[in-house]
């Protein structure tokens, strides 16, 4: 049998009788996929693991609490033989052969008429890998091939464009704080499939260098905006490229909806009738402090964290931030876009009751190779920013979590 490779096929088992003999670890591993395939699964076994028992209790399989008996496989379309009794396995295998039921044997693959492939799934595709080498089966290699293909499809390093289902449109992708490894798997795959990428200055710029030459990469900051506002010009560029039937990725820093104007772009696209998906991203507000060793919450230190924009000063009438109330909170304050205004912000917080000794950390270009952390207090932060020449982009953290060391104690 080993001289010929197995013939791969996808069984459509919906409503069809599948018999599983043995309720141990093998059944536990295989049953979920049979249930997912809609099979009418009958388990024959005196015992079962708690997980298998739970599947029976939930009505996902029918459990016959007894050992295998001649005739169990008569009406089956497919069988999995995995009891701990070699005689029962051999007898069941002979019955399967007699009734022409394709049958997997966990104890003796060479005597089985079917092999279970190593399987994985990615976006509507099932990857099934079988060893066909007559010199011997190597299940770990087979699983490693499966993992490599599935991972590659998920993270976009294995590019397999859609031809029939691929639709033009825009994906607003949160690219994370900057480290190219911190984009989501979905974001990376969409990026790998894009015809056009409109990218912000913040975010994983290194990923752009990996794109194939036919991909048009547009720097959002350089889109000419003539009589339009910059954001309108970006919206128009998204709409125009999508209207040409292209797959467009709008690559944004952090998360599209955290001070990212993601909803404005979504509105513009919806208005123009362009399909749009939004892919969340890891926001710098949490990840950048974390990358510098600062947890935004810590048990016994902070039970809340508040993320605010510091792009307008507290006394500016355009500010929507209630700084006096923030000064009264005991938790962590995370300020984005606040480097220029941090002196006025610190003054306001102190004026409304926050201690001038409250620790402050500024984390510049977090998660990138240029990351640096500068520490101060509310009393000293204004002069520290100047003395240390802290530049945007930086995340500013105010609160006692800044002093929590790696040993878990507040310094």
Ligand X SMILES: C[S@@+](CC[C@H](N)C(=O)[O-])C[C@H]1O[C@@H](n2cnc3c(N)ncnc32)[C@H](O)[C@@H]1O
Q: How many residues does the chain have?
A: 411
CB-nearer residue toward ligand X: 48 or 223: 223
CB-nearer residue toward ligand X: 92 or 190: 190
Instruction: Using alpha carbons, select from 309, 289, 308, 307 the residue that is nearest to residue 298.
Output: 289
> Rounded to the nearest whole angstrom, what is the least distance from the CB of residue 142 to ligand X in the complex?
40
What is the pairing mode between strands 332-336 and 305-309? parallel
Q: Which residue is nearest to ligand X (CB)?
A: 254
Mapping DSSP to helix (H, G, I), strand (E, B) and coil, where does residue 131 land?
A: coil
Q: Which two tokens stand for residue 65?
A: 């609490």
CB-nearer residue toward ligand X: 269 or 336: 336
CB-nearer residue toward ligand X: 180 or 260: 260
> Rounded to the nearest whole angstrom, what is the least distance from the CB of residue 402 to ligand X in the complex?
15
CB-nearer residue toward ligand X: 85 or 340: 340
> Rounded to the nearest whole angstrom, what is the least distance from the CB of residue 280 to ligand X in the complex?
10
Q: Which two tokens stand for residue 1?
A: 């049998």
H or E segment at 398? strand 394-398
CB-nearer residue toward ligand X: 19 or 170: 170
Are 177 and 366 spatial neighbours (Cβ–Cβ below 8 Å)? yes
**Secondary structure percentages of the chain, helix, strand, coil, to 5:** 30, 20, 45
How far apart are alpha carbons 346 and 356 in whole angstroms? 8
CB atoms < 10 A from the CB of 322, how many? 12
How far apart are alpha carbons 260 and 278 in whole angstroms? 12
How far apart are alpha carbons 184 and 207 in whole angstroms? 12
How far apart are alpha carbons 373 and 362 in whole angstroms? 6
Among all chains, which residue has been given the structure tokens 């701990």? 84
> Rounded to the nearest whole angstrom, what is the least distance from the CB of residue 283 to ligand X in the complex?
3
> Rounded to the nearest whole angstrom, what is the least distance from the CB of residue 208 to ligand X in the complex?
16
**Residues lying near ligand X in the complex (CB under 6 A):** 177-178, 202, 253-255, 258-260, 283-285, 288, 336-337, 363, 365-368, 392-395
CB-nearer residue toward ligand X: 307 or 403: 307
How far apart are alpha carbons 13 and 36 in whole angstroms? 10
Whether the bond into 393 is cis, omega within 30 of 0: yes
CB atoms < 10 A from the CB of 19, how many? 27
CB-nearer residue toward ligand X: 48 or 251: 251
> Rounded to the nearest whole angstrom, what is the least distance from the CB of residue 231 to ligand X in the complex?
12
> Rounded to the nearest whole angstrom, what is the least distance from the CB of residue 129 to ligand X in the complex?
38
> Rounded to the nearest whole angstrom, what is the least distance from the CB of residue 255 to ligand X in the complex?
4
């Amino acid at each position: 049998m080993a001289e010929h490779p197995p013939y791969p096929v996808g069984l459509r088992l919906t409503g069809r009788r599948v018999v599983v003999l043995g309720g141990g670890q093998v059944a536990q591993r295989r049953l979920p996929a049979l249930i997912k395939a809609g099979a009418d699964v009958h388990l024959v076994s005196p015992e079962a693991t708690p997980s298998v028992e739970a599947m029976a209790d939930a009505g996902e399989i029918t459990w016959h609490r007894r050992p295998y008996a001649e005739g169990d496989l008569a009406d089956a379309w497919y069988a999995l033989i995995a009891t701990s009794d070699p005689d029962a396995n051999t007898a069941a295998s002979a019955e399967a052969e007699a009734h022409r039921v394709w049958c997997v044997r966990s104890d003796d693959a060479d005597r089985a008429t079917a092999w279970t492939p190593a399987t994985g799934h990615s976006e509507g595709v099932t990857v099934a890998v079988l060893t066909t080498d007559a010199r011997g089966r190597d299940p770990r290699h087979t699983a490693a091939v499966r993992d490599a293909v599935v991972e590659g499809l998920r993270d976009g390093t294995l590019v397999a464009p859609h031809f029939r289902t691929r639709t033009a449109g825009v994906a607003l992708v949160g690219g994370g704080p900057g480290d190219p490894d911190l984009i989501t798997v979905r974001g990376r795959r969409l990026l790998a499939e894009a015809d056009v990428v409109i990218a912000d200055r913040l975010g994983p710029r290194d990923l752009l260098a990996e794109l194939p030459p036919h991909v048009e990469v547009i720097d959002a900051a350089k889109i000419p905006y003539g009589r339009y506002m910059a954001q309108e010009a970006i919206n128009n560029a998204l709409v125009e490229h999508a209207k040409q039937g292209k797959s467009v990725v709008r690559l944004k820093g952090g998360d599209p909806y955290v001070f990212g104007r993601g909803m404005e772009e979504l509105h513009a696209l919806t208005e123009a009738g362009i399909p749009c998906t939004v892919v969340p991203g890891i926001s710098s507000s949490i990840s950048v402090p974390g990358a510098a060793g600062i947890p935004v919450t810590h048990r016994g230190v902070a039970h809340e964290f508040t993320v605010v924009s510091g792009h307008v000063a507290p006394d500016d009438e355009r500010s929507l931030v209630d700084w006096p109330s923030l000064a009264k909170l005991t938790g962590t304050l995370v300020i984005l876009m606040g480097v220029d205004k941090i002196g006025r912000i610190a003054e306001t917080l102190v004026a409304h009751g926050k201690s001038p000794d409250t620790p402050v950390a500024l984390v510049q270009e977090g998660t990138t190779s240029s990351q640096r952390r500068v520490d101060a207090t509310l009393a000293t932060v204004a002069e520290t920013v100047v003395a240390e020449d802290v530049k945007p982009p930086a995340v500013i953290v105010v609160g006692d979590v800044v002093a929590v060391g790696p040993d878990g104690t507040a310094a």
